[in-house]
Amino acid sequence: MNSLYDEFRVAVHSVWTRRWLVLAVAWGICILGWLAIASIPNRYDSRARLLVEINQILPDEAQGGRGPRIDQIRETLTSARNMEKVAATTGLLPAGANDREKAGTVAMLQKSIKVVPQQDNIFEITSSIAVGSLSDADNAKLASGVLDSLITVVRDDQLRGGRMNARESLKFLDSQIADREKALREVEARRAAFEAQNIGLIPAGAGSPAQRVEAARAELSQIDSQLVSAQAQLAAANGQLASTPQSIPGGGGGVGGGVARQQLAGAQNELSAMRARGLTDAHPDMIAIKSQIASLKAIADREGTGGGGGIQNPAYASLAAMRAERQATVSALSARKSQLMGDISKITAQQIQNPGIAAEYDRINGEYTAFKAQYDKLLAQREQVRLRGEVQTETDAVKIELLDPPSKPTSPAAPNRPLFLTLVLLAGIGGGIGAAFGLAQVRTSYATAAKLERASGLPVIGSITEVVTPERHVERRKKLVWLASGGGALVGLYALLLVAEFIQRGMVA
């Protein structure tokens, strides 16, 4: 512990003996540092908050995005054209400036303006101005003036240019529709030529062979379920008819027969109406009505020859007509099922026999379907754009609402001069002490007898203290006064710079 204390005393003594070097180095570092700080212009920041609403002309699918994005807003606000207008408005760019000066000023403004999103559609714009050739008051004024000019320029541009977006969008969509229509006609021509070259190998009908097979299978699945239900209903009707007597005891006759013949006449009339509509005998409805007529004829014949032992049972006649109707339904569904299965087999056989033709036809049909879907979609989008364009003549494409106007800066945002001045003062004092201590380590001298004894390896008998005469004591006091005056002047200059900084800030406010 004593050795550390001795070393500290030795270090303090070595610095103290070189106190004038400490003062000189501190003055040099402080003067250079404070001059460097003084050369840094004050930066003033102005902030404003905007609400940006974009009335999109093109539909969202055509634009490929949703809502205003930060990149779009930043590019809109800080475009070179807008920056050049702002520079000309605020006086940063003189009237006769060349291209190089314009590019430099525009780059400076683009670098000094920042756009930061805060919430949906709300953005904070900050302008940071630090022009060395301008005073602090002018820089502070310019910071808010840049934002004012920028907002005005953007509003004017959107007011003029936003109304042209509808026409440009319609022109773009028209060109796209024309391209799709041309491609669609080419595919239609290729498909017609392909069908003409392969007559008999391509089944008739809409869609590709694979699509028709898929549609037939879907319909076949529905018919299977309907056929099962119809067969169950027919079985129930047969059971009820078997348990119902054909006649009931009583006199008279011909009542039931008249009912059957009336139903037969109605069915025949319906058959005539179907033929008048142009239905062929192969149509499922024609097959069903013919089956129903045959059943009714058999019932009418049996009832006509039934004798006069009783009266025809009306319930039996009703059940017989119901059974005939259900038989007709089962027959029609069975016929349709057979037709679908035949179509599926035919298309499958053609695909197996001519796989290349079927694949090429599928490809052409798929291409046609894709172009047709795109064409229809573009037509719908064009109608939307036309309607939006009518609204656009009354509203702006981009609506900018000023939530917070540009702030008027009263104090510089950077640099922090009081902190920098203090750090330079501390660096100067520390540099002076370090220089004195380093010089003491370089020069060979011994502050104590023990240190000399350790360095030489010889015993030190004694040491002689310094004798200070009155004249020398007066001289030392005078030098201490000079030293204190030099240190005080350095601290006073530091305080004066701080006072000047705060006074300068007050003048800006």
Given a cut of 90, whether residue 353 has pLDDT beyond it is: no
pLDDT at 220: 87
- CB neighbours of 401 closer than 8 A, spacing ≥ 6? 50, 51, 52, 53
Query: Rounded mean pLDDT of 345-349?
Result: 76
Q: What is the pLDDT of residues 377-409, one digit of tens each?
A: 888 888 877 776 665 555 555 567 788 889 888
Provide the CB-side half-sphere exposure for 26 (13 A, CA).
25
Q: Which of 310-314, 334-338, 485-489 has the highest mean pLDDT?
A: 485-489
pLDDT-based confidence at residue 88 (cuts at 50, 70, 90): confident
In 3-state terms the chain splits into helix, strand, coil percentages (rounded to 5) of 70, 10, 20
Provide the CB-side half-sphere exposure for 336 (13 A, CA).
22
pLDDT at 494: 94
pLDDT at 64: 44
Q: Choose the weakest-confidence range: 152-161, 230-239, 460-469.
A: 152-161
Sort 5 into a burial class: Cβ within 10 Å, 0-12 / 13-18 / 19+.
exposed
pLDDT-based confidence at residue 487 (cuts at 50, 70, 90): very high
18, 135, 323, 325 from 331: Cα distances, Å: 125, 102, 12, 10
At 14, list the tokens: 């070595």
Task: Give the type of residue at 146.
Answer: V
Degrees, nearest 5: CA angle 323-324-328 = 115
Q: Please tell me whether the overall predicted TM-score, pTM, comes out greater than 0.85 for this model.
A: no
- 491: part of which helix (H) or strand (E)? helix 470-508
Q: What is the pLDDT of residues 161-203, one digit of tens each?
A: 555 566 777 788 888 888 888 888 888 888 888 777 766 555 5
- 310: part of which helix (H) or strand (E)? strand 310-312
